[in-house]
Structure formats: C-alpha cells, structure tokens
Chains A and B, each alone.
Chain A
Amino acid sequence: MSSENPSFTDFNLQQRQKQRQKWEDAMISPPFGGFNQASESGYLLLSNPNNQTKILDHQEDGKSTGTLGSNKVQDWDPRAMLSNLSFLEEKIHHLQDLVHLFVGHKGSGLGGQDQLITQQQQFLITADLTSIIVQLISTTGSLLPSVKHTLSADIPNGQLGGHPFPPMAGMNCSPQPQNGGGSKVSDQSSKMDVAGDCGAGQSHFIEEHETKEEEDADEGEYLPPGSYDILQLEKEEILAPHSHFCTICGKGFKRDANLRMHMRGHGDEYKTPAALAKPTKESSSDPVVIKRYSCPFSGCKRNKDHKKFQPLKSILCVKNHYKRTHCDKSYTCSRCHTKKFSVMADLKTHEKHCGKDKWLCSCGTTFSRKDKLFGHIALFQGHTPAIPVEETRGPAVLSDKMDGKEASNKGRKHKFQLWLSCCRKWG
C-alpha cells in the first residue's frame, strides 16, 4: 500500500518538468521575439505587457495543474483583495515618481549618452509596469470563483488526455477504502466535468494563490481544511486482517503482491507480465485529489468532527493509530512480561532491545547505551555506574519478573525519592 505523500511530490515534480519545457518553448516562440524587438526599439510600452501575459499563460498551464484540488474551494477574501489593491496603488505611485525623475533628467542629458540612458529608463519602466499588470490580473482572478474551477478541470483534461490510465486507475488502496471514499471522488470528478465548459483562456488568473498553496503542500504537515478529501473507514474495515481480496474466490490477502501471485491460479490471463506487474508509480501519482483519513472513533483528535482535527496520511497510519489508541494491548513481550503492545510490529521492535539495558546506574535506572548512562551520571550528584556481577544480576532478573505494575510503581517511588533528595540537596 503506497502512502499518499510521495506520489504527490512525484506529481509536482512531473508538473514542474513540464512547466520548464513550456518555458523553453516560449523562448523560441515568435511572441517572445516580438517582445524583445519592441523593447529594444523603444516601441509602445503597452504592447510589452501583452506579450508578458502570454508567457505567463504558458507558465500557468504548467503550474496550475499542480494544485488542482486545492483551489476549488478557496473563498473570496475581501481583506486580501484590499491589501492587494493598496499594494498596486503604491506601485503605481512609485512608477509615477520614477517617470517624473526621468522627465527632469531628459533636459540636462548629453546627446551621446542620451540614447543609452533612455534605453535603461525604458527597461526600468517596462519591468515595473509588467509586475503591476501581473498583480492586477491575479487579483482579478481571485474574484471569479468559477474561473478557478474551470482551470482545475480544464487543464488536466487537455494535457493528460493522452495518458493511458484514467485518474483513479492507479489508486493502490484496498478495495474497502475505495468503496468508502468512492462517492466523494466521483462527486469531484463530476464537478470537473461541469467546469470543463469554461474557456481555457482564463486559466492564468490564479498565479499568486497557487504558489502559496504549493508551499503549503510542500510543508506537508498542514493542509488547509477542505483542500483535501477525507476518507473514513469503519472499525471493522480497519481491523480486518486482509485488505486485498480475490475477485473470483474471495480469498483475502494482506499484500497486493500475494493476491497477484494467487490470481495466477485462476487462469492464464492472470499470468501475463502486465497482470503480474506491480502497479507503477506513474499510475499512483495520477490521482487528482489529496486524500487524508479520519479515525472512526468519535472524540478522537484524528476524527474529522474534532475541533482541532489532524488527518491521518495513509491507511496504514489509520490502522496503526486505531490499534494503538483505541484497542487493547494484546501482545505482551515474552522477555520482560511487562511491556504490552497492540501492534505486532511495535512488539517486535521492542523485543529487539528488551533486556539489553545492560548499562545500570547505582540509582537503579537502566540504559541501553553507555553514553546515555554517562550523561545521566554527569547530571546527578553521587550517581555511579553499577558494575555488573553475578550477585547483582540475580535480583535484577527477579525484579524483571515481577508484576509489571508493581515494578513500575517501585521505579516511580524510587525516582520520586531521588528527586526529593535532590531537592533537599539543592535547598
């Protein structure tokens, strides 16, 4: 079962590559060349921005596909709009001042240098104007919610149309979650279809937001609510031992690979390399929506109804979270008979280290590593490392075999007394 995150970053990367290619195309394209000419010869300044926007269009094509799902629910924010407008105003004033300055200079300039100076001035003004126009366009873009949806639907359809897999085909999830989340995904796809009617020409309007959201996505930890789909599995599904089922005989498997091995027995058509091949990364990187999972336990922070809901990233996370937090700890360590776990893997990890706390302090604390023991000794007054000998090893084993609660209580009591004595020492 592949987790969502890597596929998502793959996806971004892919898009960036495409974007770069577009840029390169644009460099050779005639409009760009025209722009160069215009600026060199000092033509109409207004013609430059037009070209610029065209280039931006290209850029948009690439980028916008990266954050399809995240834009569609974005609300219009009047405060953001206001700040954008005031920013624009400021910029225009700045430009005005600049032009004033140039006017003042023009009278005093010498003939030979004049041409060079005007060229530089034009460059400056062009750059400023371009940025103002870009700002203006993106601000306008945020005002038109329907346009954004167009964007998100239109571009993938146009660009990825030739792709061999439909967007959902590559989902590597188990059958049950697919069923559980199926309706929502289909909802979304229908939205896309509806929005698909809008023109592609407006796609460039959301540049500003898009980049912000891309950053958010890169951070990975925080996704704005609503920027992803929430799936919630039922308790029974989470605890089910198998997640892959044979469509013919219904036998369950933990791993997809095992299922495919099993399928070979059902006929020659399942023996083809294509049928046996591992679902490729590309197919898993296709999904259009980020998916996050919710814990079915109501009141849990991982439950979608919780105030400070923190979604789980993958089905594996859901399973481990549910077992660790909401299930009995049924696996007991066979060595210390104290530690209990609800996830088998946790027990195995513990058993690797259990009993290896051979670094013992005179205060009774054990450490698995020598440097930790020495750090402890350096910290406390009068503590020394205990020297392991047969006599002391005997009782240590006994205490290990004590009832878990009793042992931990004893330890706590001891630690408390130590703490008390330290307090007294420090006065």
Chain B
Amino acid sequence: MSTQSTPILSALTEDLLIRVNEKLVQDSDRKIWRLICKEFHRVDSITRKTLRVLHVEFLLTLLKNYTNLHTLDLSVCPCIEDGTITLLLHRVDHSMWARNLKFLNLSRANGLKFSGLEMLVGACKGLESVDVSYCCGFGDREAAAISGCGGLKELRMDKCLGVSDVGLAKIVVGCGRLERLSLKWCMEISYLGVELLCKKCLELKFLDVSYLKVTSDWLRSIAALSKLEDLAMVGCPLVNDVGLQFLENGCPLLQKIDVSRCDCVSSSGLIALIRGHNGLLQIDAGYAISEFSGNFVECMQELKNLNAIIIDGARVSDTIFQTISSNCKSLIEIGLSKCTGVTNMGIMQLVSGCVNLKTINLACCRSITDAAISAIADSCRNLLRLKLESCNMVTEKSLGHLGLHCALLEELDLTDCFGVNDRGLERLSRCSRLLCLKLGLCTNISDTGLFYIASKCSQLHELDLYRCMGIGDDGLAALSSGCKKLRKLNLSYCFEVTDKGMKSLGYLDELSDLELRALDKITGAGLAALVTRCKRLAYLDLKRCERVDDTGFWALAYYSRNLRQINLSYCSITDMALCMLMGNLTRLQDVDLVQLTNVTVQGFDLALRACCVRIKKVKLVAALGSLISSEVLGILHARGCRIRWD
C-alpha cells in the first residue's frame, strides 16, 4: 500500500501536512493519522504539543519522539517517582523534550519528592504553569523546589496539605511573576503567608483561597493586589462583610468573585463590593446569602456587564428577576439551585430580558412547571445547559418546547423528574447536539424512549440511567448502535439488564466510565463479552454484581489494561482472581474491596502486595486492619497510598 501511495504523498509538502494535521482535534483521528505511514507519523511528532501519558513504561520513547511538547500531563500516570525523572533527564539526548515545556501537570503524583521536582524544574527552564494539586506528600521542601521556576505564571496547589507559610514564602519569593495561584485546601497557610504573597506577587490575576481561615485581615492584604481579576474563597467561614468592605476600595480590576458557602457574608457585604466594582462579570454567592435585601436588588442595577450570577440556596422574589432582566442584558449563566421562591412568573420575567442565557440551573425549584420551561425555550435560543433536577412538574410538554427551539442544547439534567416519559424523550431527541443527558430516577421511561434518543442524538457522551427500571437489553442495543461516542454510562440498579445488554455495550468503543451496580442478572460471561471489546474502560463499578464469577474477572484482568478505578465490593471474586486482577492491571490506582466474602486474608495480603507500588487509594473493611501484614501496609503508606477503612 505504501508503495502505491508514495507519489501522492510526495505531492504533499511537509508544510501542508502540518497544516492538515493541526485541524485534527479528536485523539482518535490523530491516532489514525499516525498509523498511516512513517511520514505522517513524523509530521505528527513534530506538531504534537500536548502529551497525556497513562503508561509510564512508554514515557521514555514517547518523550524521545515528541520534542516540541508544550504540555506534559502526568496526572494519570500511576507511578511517577524521583527515579523516573532521573531516568528521563539523564539520558542526555532525551532531555530535549524538557526545553520547550511550558505546562506541566503533576496532579496526584504522590511519588514525586523534592529531589525529583528539583531536577525537573532545573531541566524545564521555560515552565509557565505547574499543577501539583492533590499531592499529599507535597510540602515546604517540594515548594522550595518549585520556587526554582523563576518564570512561573500559574501554580495550582489544591489540597497540598503539607505546604505551610514557609513553602508559600519560598514560592512567592522565587516566582515573583506569578499570575494565577490556587491555595485551595492548603490548610496550613495562614495570614502571614498570604500577606507576604500580596506584597511580593503584584502580578497576581487569579487567587483561590477556598476553605482556608480567611479573615478580614487577609482581605485587607488581598485588596492591595492591583491586578487581581478573579478571587475565589469558597467555604471560608470567617469571611464577613467587614472583609468584603476592604475589597470595595481595592482590586480595581476585579471581575469575578466567589463567596459561595461563606456563612458570615450578608447582602450588605456584597453591596459594598458591588459599589466598588461596577464592572463585575461573575458573582457566585451560592449558599452564602439566605435573603436579598431591597438595597441589594437596587445595587444590582449597576451591574450592566454581569455574565454570571449564582445564588444557590437563597430565598428570592420576583423583583430580583425583574431587576436582573432589565439591567443585566449580557447575562449568560444563572444558578438558582435550591432557591425558594422561584416561580414561573419570575422565570418568565428573567428570560424576557436575558435572552443570551446559556446555562440555567433550576435544580430543586419545585414549583417550576412547563410554562416556565417553555418560556425559557422560546426566549433563550442559545441555551446550552439546563438543569432541572427534581423539578417534578416538568412533563413532556417542556421537553417538546426544548426540542423545538433549543437546537444547540448540549446538557440536560432531568434526574428525579418523574414527569419525563417516552413521549417526552421522543420530542427531546430533536436536540441532536445533546452531549450529556441525565435521566436518573426517571422511572417512567422505557426502551422505547431510549430508542428515540439513541437514533437521533449521535453525539451523546454521557448518559445517566440510574435506577431507570424500565430500561432493558433492547434499549442498550439501540444505544450501542446509535450513540457510538458514548463515554460515560450509568446503568446502576437497572435490574432488567442481562448479559445480552453487556454484549451490545461492547460495541461502544469509546466507553470509559461504566457503572453497573447491583445488576444481578449479569454473569461472568456478560462481563467478559464487555471487557474484551471496550479497551478504553477506565472506571468500572461492579458493586453487588453477585452473579459475576471468576471467568468474568479473569477476562477483566486480561483485557482491561487501561482500568484506573474499580469497585468490587460485595462481589463473589476469589483469592486467585483478585490477585490476578491486582497484579495484571498495571494502571489501577483506586480500588474498593469491601465485603469480599470469598477472599481470605492471605488473598488480600497477596493482592495488595502485587499492586502496592502503584496503587493510590484503597478501601478495605476495618477488621482487616489488624490482619493484613504490617509490611504491606508499610509499603502502601510509604508510597503515599491512602487506605480508607470501611
């Protein structure tokens, strides 16, 4: 074949090939491109900018080929350690990759310590963005290593529990040009660290201090950041109106503020903030303010540019909708989840003015009926996301309107709306761009309804059918032939599903997340049929699938090499199959192993020994704590693995 196609290829210059290659967005398309011929492969390796690696053993070869990488994502790599970094860097000709690297994602890389980070930072001179979030072992010394990147602009340190003010000070002094910083959940950070940050990093545009002990003093310091645009402080119980008043006269460029779940903030604090910043684009005050005063509503008239407002959990009245509708013409997103006092009238008023709305969250606004939904569908033709969880009054009429007018709709959450039926789904299926559809607890839908969706919504990525008892094998057969791009599927407690359904699911090549809880009609054969075909499976929930026997688990151990997370609780797996599974699945990072009646203590011991170097999270019965050998537990601990005792 290659000999035949050579003349055609010679007509295509490298320049042209690169331009064509750049048009490819989907990973699967790029994969096909790479496999065409050596020349195409070479072009791909020149142009490739991002790399997300799952298998650490291929990292060396991959980095050798791709020398123009901008982004390296190691967050799903199970065992990145200091030694790995040494290996990658100390083969001199291989360190080419490090030169152009700008974005590095090391999220959850627990094995990486300061010496490895130091080497990495030393080799990647041009680093601009580093993500070390959820690294449990990340402490002050690791922060000191990161501070070697003088040009760092973005750093995420979410839940780096070991970082204290000292580590932050290191980073602040070392990376003075920092523009985006997230300190979410860094519980050791105190006022001193943040004060220093606000004195030294004057370029800061985004700061996340969520869940920290943020006080008024913090905000006084933060107010001095003249370039700050985005401030997030979710769940800060000490933030109050006094603190927000400091922001009134500070941070002149502030555009986004998130004070959700800050219990001590009231509308007067927000009024002060708004008074100082008429150009605010986004306000998130969910579960912070219980009631909006008249002054606040008046104050909202100033916010002509507002894009998004989220006031989840508040008590609202129709007047606030009127104000928003007549003043905030450019509103794109509104969040009213769990708000009391949301009426059809209010929603109608809102959408009459805000026709550009793309995201509307009405979860648990129980008095909403079809009238409001049809008003939304009529006015907001660009609607992309609509959440109607627990809106029980919504019926097929609403879905009909959405299907007629909202052709762009991508995401629809109908969880727990028992007014949804097959006819409704038929009408909804006109929204052919749907990517995500949640139908959990919609007990009135059956295979017929699913058939309509499957036949029209071919783009669907995610489908939630949790406890949809009417769904059976026929529906799944339709799904597997219609929605080829399905990645996430939840079939938990759909008791009618049998091995036949599993077999048809096997035709979904892209399927990566699958929940099969308590499907007691599927057996080992069904699981085997599924896993032999779905090679991309990364997350599998088999809790309480009691009839699945070892044949299924053997197949799983043999075929699902990309599996990262599995829930095997209450399964009838035996010692041998468990050991096989844990030893063979080298990508496995998170395992739930609760109540395995057929597995002995020795079986657990052996299974954990087989995977202890790479596993990051494991859930076990508490009684096993004293029975499993301390040696294994010691290794797990040393590797940064977290054990949850049930």
Contact = CB atoms under 8 A, between A and B. Distances in A.
Interface of A: 370-371, 374, 377-378, 382-385, 387, 389
A374 B166 CA distance: 9
Interface string B132-170: 000000001100100100000000000000000111011
Contact of B192 (A370, A382, A387, A389): A370
A389 B174 CA distance: 20
A385 B170 contact: yes
Residue picked from A370, A371, A384, A389, most chain B C-beta under 10 Å: A384
B195 interface: yes
Given A378-B196, A378-B200, A387-B140, A370 B165 contact: yes
Nearest to A379: B199
B173 interface: yes
B169 A377 contact: yes
A389 B200 CA distance: 26
Contact of B144 (A371, A378, A382, A387): A387
Nearest to A361: B169
Contact of B141 (A374, A378, A382, A389): A389
Nearest to A360: B166
Contact of A377 (B140, B147, B196): B196
A19 B140 CA distance: 67
Contact of A384 (B170, B193, B195, B199): B170
Contacts of A389: 141
B215 to A, nearest CB: 15
Contacts of B192: 370-371, 374
Nearest to B171: A384
A295 B166 CA distance: 49
Nearest to B168: A385
Interface string B180-201: 0000000000001101100110
18 contacts: A374-B165, A374-B169, A374-B192, A374-B193, A374-B195, A374-B196, A377-B173, A377-B196, A378-B199, A382-B173, A384-B173, A385-B165, A385-B166, A387-B140, A387-B141, A387-B144, A387-B166, A387-B170
B571 to A, nearest CB: 46
A378 to B, nearest CB: 5
A374 B169 CA distance: 8
Nearest to A371: B192
Contacts of B199: 378
B579 to A, nearest CB: 40
Chain A CB count within 10 A is highest, among B167, B170, B174, for B170
Nearest to A370: B192
A210 B193 CA distance: 56
A382 B141 CA distance: 17
Query: Which 9 A/B pairs are nearest by Cβ-Cβ distance?
Result: A374-B192, A385-B166, A384-B173, A387-B140, A378-B199, A385-B169, A384-B170, A374-B196, A378-B196
Contacts of A374: 165, 169, 192-193, 195-196
A402 B352 CA distance: 81
Contacts of B170: 384-385, 387
Contacts of B166: 385, 387
Contacts of A382: 173
Contacts of B200: 378
B517 to A, nearest CB: 46
Contacts of A387: 140-141, 144, 166-167, 170
Contacts of B193: 374
B489 to A, nearest CB: 48
A387 B174 CA distance: 14
A385 B174 CA distance: 11
Contacts of B196: 374, 377-378
B166 to A, nearest CB: 4
A377 B171 CA distance: 12
A385 B196 CA distance: 12
B183 to A, nearest CB: 16
B446 to A, nearest CB: 63
Contacts of A370: 165, 192
Contacts of A378: 195-196, 199-200
Query: Which of A377, A383, A385 has the largest number of chain B CB atoms within 10 A?
Result: A385
Nearest to A378: B199
Contacts of B144: 384, 387
Interface centre among B147, B165, B174 (most CB of A within 10 A): B165
A55 B161 CA distance: 76
A384 B147 contact: yes
Contacts of B141: 387, 389
B325 to A, nearest CB: 48
B173 A383 contact: yes
A387 B170 CA distance: 9
Nearest to B144: A387
A389 B142 CA distance: 13
Contacts of A377: 169, 173, 196
Given A385-B170, A387-B166, 17 more contacts: A370-B165, A370-B192, A371-B192, A374-B165, A374-B192, A374-B193, A374-B196, A377-B169, A378-B195, A378-B199, A378-B200, A384-B144, A384-B173, A385-B165, A385-B166, A387-B167, A389-B141
Contacts of A384: 144, 147, 169-170, 173-174
A371 B217 CA distance: 14
Nearest to A389: B141
Contacts of B173: 377, 382-384
Nearest to B167: A387
> Residue among A370, A387, A389 with the most chain B CB within 10 A?
A387
A257 B477 CA distance: 100
Interface in B298-328: none
Contacts of A385: 165-166, 169-170
A248 B19 CA distance: 112
Nearest to B140: A387
A272 B144 CA distance: 72
A379 B498 CA distance: 70
A385 B172 CA distance: 11
Contacts of B140: 387
A389 B173 CA distance: 20
A274 to B, nearest CB: 57
Nearest to B114: A387
Nearest to A383: B173
B113 to A, nearest CB: 13
B290 to A, nearest CB: 36
Nearest to B141: A387
B640 to A, nearest CB: 20
Nearest to B190: A370
